[in-house]
Structure 1
Amino acid sequence: METSTRLGSALKKLYTAFHNNTLNPECCKQCAVGNILSHTDNWKHLSDSHGALELNYIGKVHQTLGRKFNGYSPIELLKIEHIFLKACGYQLPLHYKNKKPKNPTDKTILFNGLYAVISFLCELDEIANVMDYTKLFEVENDKPKYELT
């Protein structure tokens, strides 16, 4: 399956972070967007709250200028992070008084977050969801319709 450069890069970084235990929803450098942006936290200045969907003044300026961060616009980055945190079980925006998972780095919680993010990234690039495994179970004449490659 052909993917865009930005999607391929994001998938590799998220996969690596998941398996190297460097994915942490509560850290701006190790969350979904922090990993996509090579462990930087510059993106946190695009909004006033971690997990919010509203761009602040700085975010709006970058968005208006057409600025991209590793291929993603400021509003796309906020949506990616919002989806990740929501799928991990956080009440948004991130705040110490809001609901959050007991163990935010639990692999099941992180997988749920990544599944949602990767589905969204595929949607942004208008390609089939690479996380969709249902085709593996389709049969035709009592035999698998598709082979594993």
Structure 2
Amino acid sequence: MKTSKRLDLAVNKLYNAFHNNALHPECCKQCAVGNILDNKDSWKHLSDHHGATELNYIGKVHQTLGRKFNGYTPLELLQIEATFLKACGYQIPLHHKNKKPKNPTDKDILFNGLTEVVTLLCELDNIPNIMNYTALFKKKNTYQFDLTFFT
């Protein structure tokens, strides 16, 4: 399956972050978007709250100018982060009073978040979900048996 360069890079960065224990939902440099953007936190200035899906003035300016960050628009970045946080069990936007997981760096929690993020990244690029593993279990009958021998 052919994928886009931005998807390949994003998935590779998220994969490495996951396996190197460099993924943390509450850190702007180590969250899903932080990792996609090379562990920089400048993206946090696109909205007023971590996990918000609404662009602030700065975000709207960048969006209107057609700016992209590692291939993603400001609005796409906010969607990616919101998807990640929700799938990890957070109530968004992040706030100390809102619901959050007891252990945000639990591998199962992070895996759930990354699965949803990869699904969204595929949707953004209009390609089939690369995380869809059901095709692996579809068995194609390639063998023909002559059962008349046994009768």
- Same-fold status (TM-score > 0.5): yes
Partner of 1:20: 20
Partner of 1:2: 2
Q: Once the two structures are superposed, what CA deviation does each residue of 1:34-91 show, in whole Å capped at 9, x if it has no partner?
A: 0000000000000001000100000000000000000000000000000000000000
CA distance in 2, matches of 1:140, 1:77: 39
Matched, 1:131 2:131: yes
User: SS of the counterpart of 2:135?
Assistant: helix
Partner of 1:54: 54
Partner of 1:121: 121
Partner of 2:102: 102
Partner of 1:29: 29
Partner of 1:88: 88
CA distance in 1, matches of 2:3, 2:139: 27
CA distance in 2, matches of 1:136, 1:142: 15
- Structure 1 unaligned spans of 5+: 144-149
CA distance in 1, matches of 2:4, 2:139: 30
Partner of 2:44: 44
- Structure 2 unaligned spans of 5+: 144-151
Measured after TM superposition, the shift of residue 2 of structure 1 is: 1.5
CA distance in 1, matches of 2:99, 2:142: 47
CA distance in 2, matches of 1:36, 1:130: 17
Give the letter aligned to residue 50 of structure 2. H
CA distance in 2, matches of 1:15, 1:43: 20
- The number of equivalent residue pairs is 143
Please list, as runs of the form range in 1=range in 2, the aligned pairs for 1:53-72 lying within 5 A after superposition.
53-72=53-72
Under a length normalisation based on structure 1, what TM-score does the superposition of the two structures give? 0.94
Give the letter aligned to residue 130 of structure 1. I
User: SS of the counterpart of 1:140?
Assistant: coil
- State the percentage of identical aligned residues: 73
Give the letter aligned to residue 90 of structure 1. Y
Name the larger-Rg structure.
2
Q: Once the two structures are superposed, what CA deviation does each residue of 1:117-142 show, in whole Å capped at 9, x if it has no partner?
A: 00000011111111010001002338
Q: Once the two structures are superposed, what CA deviation does each residue of 1:93-145 show, in whole Å capped at 9, x if it has no partner?
A: 100000000000000000000000000000111111110100010023387xx
Partner of 1:146: none
